[in-house]
Structure 1
Amino acid sequence: MTAEVLALALTLAVHIVGAFALIGVLVRNSGADVRDWWPGDDDGGPPPDDPQPQRPQPGGGGGVPLPDAQASPVRLREPGQISERYPRPARRPAHPPAPAPERQPEHG
């Protein structure tokens, strides 16, 4: 057996052992049984223990939209571009230019 084949076999073996260890930890910590992964009987079996949770009725305190929600000032379905609806930001802060220095006459 050459060194390349031995290196490939060792790499494959380490990956297989790691995969089995990862699957074992996931199954042990999830509380699920391996039999839960397979589909159940086709006859439907007994009904589930807990019924479906009731959906909250609209208009309650936690509904959508939220009570403090405001409509957007721009509608995306209207014709035109979004940039036309918003003012452009100022490029520079508005401040007066610095006064130019006065020139001194040359005495010569």
Structure 2
Amino acid sequence: SGPRLGVKSIDAGTIHTCVVTLTVGTETTGTTAYCWGRNNSGQLGDGTLTDRRAPAAIPAIQYSTIATGGAHSCGTDLNSQALCWGQNEKGQLGNGTTIRSLTPALVAKP
């Protein structure tokens, strides 16, 4: 039997959805985040502003949880660090700026 794919965390916003999948293989366990839907502010985290009708992977980071907002998303990685991406005009990404991010950005430590 090969690797199994399951859902670890899922959240649906108004215009986009994100999921963390859990892949269990014979030697490794990994998690990958995927988002799909509207991407006008970079809320899918894939580095583009392209709307996706199917799940698009958020590259390079393994996640344990994920959550969606109106036009932004946040997750925690396997080291319990918070990351957010997407719309940021009110500072909702928590990175000390008001500039949107098309890819995950670390939340500033309090």
Q: TM-score range by the shorter chain?
A: under 0.3
- Larger Rg belongs to: 1
TM-score of the superposition, structure 1-length normalised? 0.18
TM-score norm. by structure 2 comes to: 0.18
